[in-house]
């Protein structure tokens, strides 16, 4: 505060103004007082001369020889030097003998005035006494011109000493006045500049982000107004910044919630923003990417090329990026200009890897389906052609051919049925309406349809676990399809004399259904793939056994649609175990029309 230049400027102005006023006033007062003192002395001298003149009139008229002595007496009494000058200018009496001037006085101005009847004064340097003297001359007698003139003389020092005294007093008063001006000037300047200093401090705090500071000025003058305006500005600024911050938070939350990667750059290709999804696509290291050059942060040619082109041409560019990080991910991207002519651009990345994979799967599926359908169809056509070309001559051969045709037609039928099942499952988001289903009943029904095949292969069948009603939240038709496929595979891939075990169990929340066989088993590398469509461990064997390669794919789809899971454990040569887990239904919701458990 004390270093405030404006304080010192105001203070210096006050002091200078005070000093100028004091000097001016002092000078004028000095002049007035000195002039009046001199006039008083002059007036006194004339008055004294006027009083003396009549007392000398007789001596002058009579040309008395005592004139000289009288003059000296009077001079001693009044203390002034007295000179009597005749009308012709000759000095006829002089109180101070040593100064007796013989010369003619007729040219002295005070003498000339007195000779005209007007008492007058004059100031002159006296060569006789070597000092400045004040003279006052009055006519002696009433006649004009008078007979003689009486002149009194007074050393001028008396006047000067009066003046010096006045000057001293004024100097003292001036000095005190100046001191008062200095003190008052400082106090007033400080009072005026303190609110300004406070405002400067508040404004400085605003610049460093402390927007809660307030001046709280109480004065009603312009400075108070300025303080209140500054407070209002602070409040407004605080409110605006809060709004901007909130908007920014919302945008940030929005961007980080997006599954699309977003990168924004400015006109110089410096990164403004990278959202979480984009960070996951392009690892940017530990340092915050904001402010870094895009070329340094992302070493991906297509991205850099598209950004440069977008900034240069100010139009959107759509492009595709394949990541070279080993993941093989494919991204569809679009760079769009933002801001004005010198603005930047925003690039949005959309991961289309899954889409691409699905396209590949679909393509493979179509190829597989065509191939699977073509094989039995080609056989059918071959047999039919052979028969038409004369093969029907031999009845036994014809029968063999017809059986082959029938078996291939059956295969085609099985394939198409499975494909339709799959397509139905895939085309509906919720293909089943879930309700409590008696798992034991479904298993019993399914086993009933396989009993002949089991008996034909001399297999042992065992049903273990909870024999009572176990309720799963499922769909009866779907569950039947699952059990049928698992039992069909167990029978197909287990040699004659093997054992099949069906086990029903679970806990409070889930129901488990396990189908176990002592068959050929599945090698470990094939295990993760057996649920894929058309995947078969041994293609020839599957085909020979009438398999379509779609059974387990259908099982997996159905189980997923029933909100369950399926797991498999297998050991080649020893057998396999498929376990289906489904949510358990609460007994209270058991409908009365459920199929009864078979004994
Ligand atoms: P498929 O019609 O060929 O049986 P699936 O989809 O039902 O087709 O089964 C796919 C493949 O998984 C089968 O070809 C077979 O190699 C293998 N597999 C399925 N179940 C068993 C099992 N119980 N024992 C051995 N291998 C099995």
* Domain parsing of the chain, residue ranges: 5-164, 258-351, 356-425, 430-597
Q: Which residue has the tokens 């002058």?
A: 60
Q: From edge to edge, which strands make up the β-sheet containing 330-337?
A: 271-274, 261-265, 345-351, 330-337, 317-322
- A 10 A CB-CB count for 470 gives 23
Handedness of CA 468, 472, 475, 480 (dihedral sign): negative
CA 468 to chain centre: 68
Best residue among 459, 538, 542 to mutate for probing ligand 1's pocket (most ligand atoms within 8 Å of CB) is 542
482 pocket-lining for ligand 1 (C-beta < 6 Å): no
What pLDDT does 34 receive? Answer: 81
Residue pair 74/82 in contact (Cβ under 8 Å)? The answer is: yes
What pLDDT does 599 receive? Answer: 31
Q: Which of 200, 157, 208, 180 is nearest to 4 (CA)?
A: 200
* CA–CA dist 273, 256 (Å, integer): 11
Report CA(421)–ligand 1 centroid distance (Å). Answer: 17
Residue 485: what are its φ and ψ, rounded to 5°?
Answer: -65, -45
Residue 119: what are its φ and ψ, rounded to 5°?
Answer: -65, 140
* CA–CA dist 585, 599 (Å, integer): 22
The neighbouring-strand residues paired with 49 are none
* CA–CA dist 439, 590 (Å, integer): 13
530 pocket-lining for ligand 1 (C-beta < 6 Å): yes
576 pocket-lining for ligand 1 (C-beta < 6 Å): yes
* CA–CA dist 374, 389 (Å, integer): 22
CATH architecture of 430-597: 2-Layer Sandwich (3.30)
Q: What pLDDT tens digit does each residue of the chain (599 aa) get?
A: 556 778 888 888 888 888 898 889 889 988 888 888 888 888 988 998 888 888 888 888 888 888 888 888 888 888 888 999 988 888 888 887 666 666 788 888 989 999 998 888 888 887 767 788 889 999 998 888 898 999 998 887 877 787 788 888 888 988 998 898 889 888 988 888 888 888 888 999 988 988 888 888 888 888 889 889 999 999 999 999 999 999 999 988 998 899 999 999 999 999 999 998 999 888 887 788 889 999 988 888 999 999 999 999 999 999 999 888 888 899 999 999 998 778 999 999 999 999 998 998 889 889 999 999 999 999 999 999 988 888 667 788 888 999 999 999 999 999 999 999 888 888 877 789 999 999 999 999 999 999 999 999 999 999 998 767 889 999 999 999 999 999 999 999 999 999 999 999 988 899 999 999 999 999 999 999 999 999 999 988 888 888 889 999 999 999 999 999 999 999 999 999 999 999 999 754 444 444 443 33
3-state secondary structure 11-33: HHHHHHHHHHHHHHHHHHHHHHH
* CA–CA dist 573, 470 (Å, integer): 33
Strands (E), 187-312: 261-265, 271-274
Ligand 1 closest atom vs CA 494: 24
What pLDDT does 588 receive? Answer: 43
139 pocket-lining for ligand 1 (C-beta < 6 Å): no
> Left (φ > 0), alpha (ψ -120 to 50) or beta: where does 538 sit?
beta
Handedness of CA 427, 433, 436, 438 (dihedral sign): negative
CA 109 to chain centre: 95
Q: Was domain 258-351 assigned CATH 3.30.450.20?
A: yes
489 pocket-lining for ligand 1 (C-beta < 6 Å): yes
498 pocket-lining for ligand 1 (C-beta < 6 Å): no
Residue pair 262/344 in contact (Cβ under 8 Å)? The answer is: no
What pLDDT does 598 receive? Answer: 36
Q: Was domain 356-425 assigned CATH 3.30.930.10?
A: no
Best residue among 493, 550, 557 to mutate for probing ligand 1's pocket (most ligand atoms within 8 Å of CB) is 493
581 pocket-lining for ligand 1 (C-beta < 6 Å): no
542 pocket-lining for ligand 1 (C-beta < 6 Å): yes
* CA–CA dist 122, 138 (Å, integer): 12
Could you give the 3-state DSSP secondary structure of residue 569?
Answer: strand
3-state secondary structure 539-555: HHHHHHCCCCCCHHHHH
549 pocket-lining for ligand 1 (C-beta < 6 Å): yes
User: Per CATH, which fold does 5-164 belong to?
Assistant: Beta-Lactamase (3.30.450)
Question: How many residues are given for the chain?
Answer: 599
Q: Which of 215, 29, 41 is nearest to 136 (CA)?
A: 41
**Composition of the chain by helix, strand, coil, percent to 5:** 55, 20, 25
548 pocket-lining for ligand 1 (C-beta < 6 Å): yes
Residue pair 520/493 in contact (Cβ under 8 Å)? The answer is: yes
**Residue with CA nearest ligand 1 atom 11:** 536
What pLDDT does 514 receive? Answer: 97
Residue pair 468/506 in contact (Cβ under 8 Å)? The answer is: no
Report CA(530)–ligand 1 centroid distance (Å). Answer: 7
Domains 5-164 and 258-351 fall in the same CATH topology: yes
* CA–CA dist 485, 493 (Å, integer): 12
- Take residue 327 and report the two structure tokens written for it: 């993941």
522 pocket-lining for ligand 1 (C-beta < 6 Å): yes
Give helix then strand counts, H and E, for the chain: 14, 17
538 pocket-lining for ligand 1 (C-beta < 6 Å): yes
pTM passes above 0.75: no
């Amino acid at each position: 505060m004390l270093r405030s230049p404006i304080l010192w400027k105001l203070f210096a102005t006050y002091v200078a103004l005070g000093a100028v006023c004091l000097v001016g006033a002092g000078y004028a007062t000095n002049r007035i007082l000195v002039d009046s003192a001199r006039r008083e002395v002059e007036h006194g001298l004339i008055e004294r001369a006027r009083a003396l003149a009549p007392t000398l009139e007789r001596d002058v008229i009579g040309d008395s020889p005592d004139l000289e002595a009288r003059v000296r007496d009077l001079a001693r009494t009044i203390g002034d030097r007295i000179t009597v000058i005749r009308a012709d200018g000759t000095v006829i009496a002089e109180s101070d003998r040593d100064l007796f001037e013989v010369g003619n006085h007729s040219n002295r101005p005070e003498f000339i005035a007195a000779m005209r009847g007007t008492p007058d004064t004059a100031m002159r340097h006296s060569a006789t006494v070597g000092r400045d003297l004040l003279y006052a001359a009055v006519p002696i007698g009433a006649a004009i011109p008078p007979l003689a003139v009486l002149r009194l003389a007074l050393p001028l020092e008396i006047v000067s000493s009066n003046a010096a005294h006045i000057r001293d007093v004024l100097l003292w008063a001036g000095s005190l006045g100046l001191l008062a001006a200095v003190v008052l000037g400082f106090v007033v300047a400080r009072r005026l500049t303190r609110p300004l200093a406070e405002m400067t401090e508040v404004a400085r705090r605003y610049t460093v982000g402390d927007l809660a500071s307030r001046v709280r000025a109480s004065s009603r003058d312009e400075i108070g107004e300025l303080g209140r305006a500054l407070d209002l500005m602070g409040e407004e600024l605080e409110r605006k910044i809060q709004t901007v911050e909130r908007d920014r938070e919302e945008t940030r939350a929005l961007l980080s919630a997006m599954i699309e990667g977003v990168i924004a750059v400015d006109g110089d290709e410096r990164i403004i923003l990278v959202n979480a999804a984009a960070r996951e696509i392009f690892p940017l290291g530990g340092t915050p990417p904001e402010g870094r050059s895009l070329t340094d942060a992302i070493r991906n040619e297509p991205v850099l090329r598209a950004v440069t082109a977008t900034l240069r041409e100010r139009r959107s560019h759509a492009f595709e990026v394949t990541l070279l990080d080993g993941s093989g991910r494919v991204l569809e991207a679009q760079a769009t200009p933002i801001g004005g002519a010198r603005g930047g651009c925003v690039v949005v990345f959309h991961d289309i890897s899954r889409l691409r994979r699905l396209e590949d799967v679909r393509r493979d599926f179509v190829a597989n389906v065509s191939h699977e359908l073509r094989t039995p169809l080609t056989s059918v056509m071959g047999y039919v052609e052979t028969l038409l070309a004369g093969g029907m001559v031999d009845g036994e051969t014809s029968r063999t051919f017809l059986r082959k045709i029938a078996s291939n037609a059956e295969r085609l039928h099985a394939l198409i049925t499975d494909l339709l099942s799959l397509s139905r499952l895939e085309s509906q988001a919720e293909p089943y309406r879930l309700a409590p289903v008696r798992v034991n009943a479904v298993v019993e029904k399914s086993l009933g349809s396989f009993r002949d095949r089991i008996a034909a292969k001399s297999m042992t069948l065992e049903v273990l676990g909870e024999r009572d009603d176990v309720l799963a939240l499922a769909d009866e038709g779907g569950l039947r399809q699952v059990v049928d496929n698992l039992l069909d595979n167990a029978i197909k891939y287990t040699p004659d004399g093997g054992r099949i075990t069906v086990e029903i169990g679970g806990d409070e929340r889930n129901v488990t259904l396990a189908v176990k066989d002592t068959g050929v088993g599945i090698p470990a590398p094939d295990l993760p793939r057996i649920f894929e469509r058309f995947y078969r461990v041994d293609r020839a064997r599957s085909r020979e056994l009438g398999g379509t390669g779609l059974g387990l794919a259908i099982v997996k789809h159905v189980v997923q649609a029933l909100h369950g899971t399926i797991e498999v454990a297998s050991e080649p040569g020893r057998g396999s175990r498929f376990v289906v887990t489904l949510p358990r239904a609460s007994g209270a919701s058991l409908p009365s029309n459920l199929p009864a458990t078979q004994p």
